[in-house]
Structure 1
Amino acid sequence: MICPLASFEEVFKTEHGVVYQCSRKNCYWLDFQGEATPFKVRDFFQFKKTIDAMDVELMLCNSSRSFDFEILMPFRSERIFILSVEDILKMRELLAGAKFMIELNSEIKNCLQSKAILAI
């Protein structure tokens, strides 16, 4: 798929894309619109904030052609995303689900570690 030596775990998947975690390189891979894009952890969450901040209502209300798409090039990435309103909403769903699963996994690990300490 992306790198034959990496070990990927699926974080979250929708019918429009998938987010994978690579434990070997400590990064996330976003597979969206048929292309996979790597993100360092911090950059992944910054990308989510950028997507969440896009003004979909303004895009829908403005009839100017310049509001039909958002062009986005994430930090430390060679990929350019050209997103319609529909794409932005699909991306938001995917990134929100991935963030939730990442936070849930972290919380579960914290609970298990604190129980292990109490058992000692």
Structure 2
Amino acid sequence: MGTAANTLVEIFRTEFGAVYQCNRYDVYWVEFAGGFSSFKFSDFFYLKQRVEAIDVVEMAQNPARVADVVVLNPLCSDRCFVLTLTDVLHFRELLQGAKVMIELNSIINESLHGMMV
């Protein structure tokens, strides 16, 4: 994370990872599965959509060994996520929580800005 570490604000954390916002570089940092990855705003939400689109019911019910793991190569990222069913559920929780906090922060800022006008 280099010099950006001093500018990170934690948005959401679970016992399995965290999401940080870096206003200096206008990116989100995702800490998950032992690594850190940065994503621009749109790429972060695309990653969330990709994780949400994973069919966890199919993963759980399919007896084939290849159904046990999902590999995600997010846009504009040098990181590849190799996720088990449990990892997918933990990653979803992290990304969903971060999205809620981002939206809440936006609502609060809009409300405060409206009060100042």
Amino acid at match of 1:21: Q
Residue equivalent to 1:51: 51
Question: Does 1:78 find its partner at 2:78?
Answer: yes
Specify the code of the residue in structure 1 equivalent to 2:38.
P
Q: CA separation in 1, counterparts of 2:27 and 2:38? A: 7
Question: What's 1:38 paired with?
Answer: 38
Counterpart amino acid of residue 84 in structure 1: T
* Aligned mates of 2:61, 2:14 — CA distance in 1: 28
Cα distance in 1 for partners of 2:45, 2:82 equals 19
CA distance in 2, matches of 1:88, 1:5: 27
Structure 2 residue ranges without an equivalent (≥5): none
The match for 2:89 is 89
Determine helix, strand or coil for the equivalent of 1:74. coil
Residue matched to 2:3: 4
Report the counterpart of residue 63 of structure 1 in structure 2.
63
Q: In 2 relative to 1, CA 5–55 (structure 1 residues): closer, same or farther, beyond 3 Å?
A: closer
Q: What number of residue pairs does the alignment pair up? A: 116
Shift of 1:85: 0.4
Determine helix, strand or coil for the equivalent of 2:3: coil
Cα distance in structure 2, aligned partners of 1:66 and 1:33: 20
Percent identical across equivalent pairs?
44
Partner residue of 1:99? 99
Unaligned runs of 5+ in 1: none
Normalising by structure 1, what TM-score? 0.94
Q: CA RMSD in A?
A: 0.8
Residues 63-100 of structure 1, C-alpha deviation per residue, up to 9 Å, x if partnerless? Answer: 00110100011001110100000000000000000000
- How far apart are 1:110 and its partner, in Å? 0.2
Compute the TM-score of the two structures, normalised by the length of structure 2: 0.97
**Bigger Rg, structure 1 or 2:** 1
